[in-house]
Structure 1
Amino acid sequence: MHLLYTIFIGLIIGAVAKLLMPGRDPGGFIVTILLGIAGSVVAGYIGRALHLYREGQAAGFLASIVGAILLLVAYRAVIGNSESAG
C-alpha cells in the first residue's frame, strides 16, 4: 500500500513541478511520476543532510516539490544538450 501511496503522491508532486516550470519536456505521464518520486527522495536526502529531517522521516510536500523542480531543471539540461548535439 505504501508503494501505491508513493506513486500517487509522486504524480501530484511531478504535476505541480511541471506546472511551476512550464515548457516542453520530453516524456509524459511516467516521467512526471518518476520526477515526483525522485524529487521526494532528493528533498529527503538534502533535508537529512541539513538536519531538517530525522533518519527515516519523509520530506514534506513543499520540499518534495522543490526537489522535483531541481530534478526537472537537471533533466531539461541533460536532454536539451543531447538533442542539440544530435
Structure 2
Amino acid sequence: MGILSWIAFGLIAGIIAKWIMPGKDPGGFIITTLIGIAGAFVGGWLGSITGVGGSVGSFSIGSFITAIVGAVVLLALYRAIRK
C-alpha cells in the first residue's frame, strides 16, 4: 500500500505544485502530474532518510508536505532544464 499512497500523494502534490508555481509548463497538466508523483517519491525517500516525512505509506501532514516540497523542487528543475 505504500507505493499507492505515494502515487496518490504525488497526484495531489503535482496539482498543488502547479498552483504554487503557476505558469506555462512545457508539458502541460500530464507532465506536471507525473513530476508531482516523482517528487512525492523523491521527497518521501529523502524524508524517510532524514526522519522528517514519516514512513512511506503513512498518511501524516509531514509526509504530505514532504511530497509537495519534492514536487515543487522537481517542477522547478524541470522548468530550468526545459528553458
TM-score class, shorter? 0.7 to 0.9
Distance 1:50-1:5 versus aligned 2 partners, 3 A rule: closer
Per-residue deviation, 1:43? 0.9
List runs of 5+ in structure 1 lacking aligned partners. Answer: 81-86
User: Which position in structure 2 is the counterpart of 1:37?
Assistant: 37
Q: TM-score, normalised by structure 1?
A: 0.72
User: Which position in structure 2 is the counterpart of 1:72?
Assistant: 75
Q: TM-score, normalised by structure 2?
A: 0.74
List runs of 5+ in structure 2 lacking aligned partners. Answer: 57-61
- Which letter does structure 1 place at the counterpart of 2:27? G
**Root mean square deviation of aligned Cα:** 2.4
Q: How does 1:1-86 map to 2 (within 5 A)?
A: 6-52=6-52, 57-58=55-56, 60-80=63-83
Q: Distance in 1 between matches of 2:46 and 2:63?
A: 12
Q: Percent identity?
A: 47
Is the radius of gyration larger for structure 1 or structure 2?
Answer: 1
Distance 1:2-1:53 versus aligned 2 partners, 3 A rule: closer
* Highest RCO, 1 vs 2 (Cα 8 Å, sep ≥ 6): 2
Q: Would you say how many aligned residue pairs link Structure 1 and Structure 2? A: 78
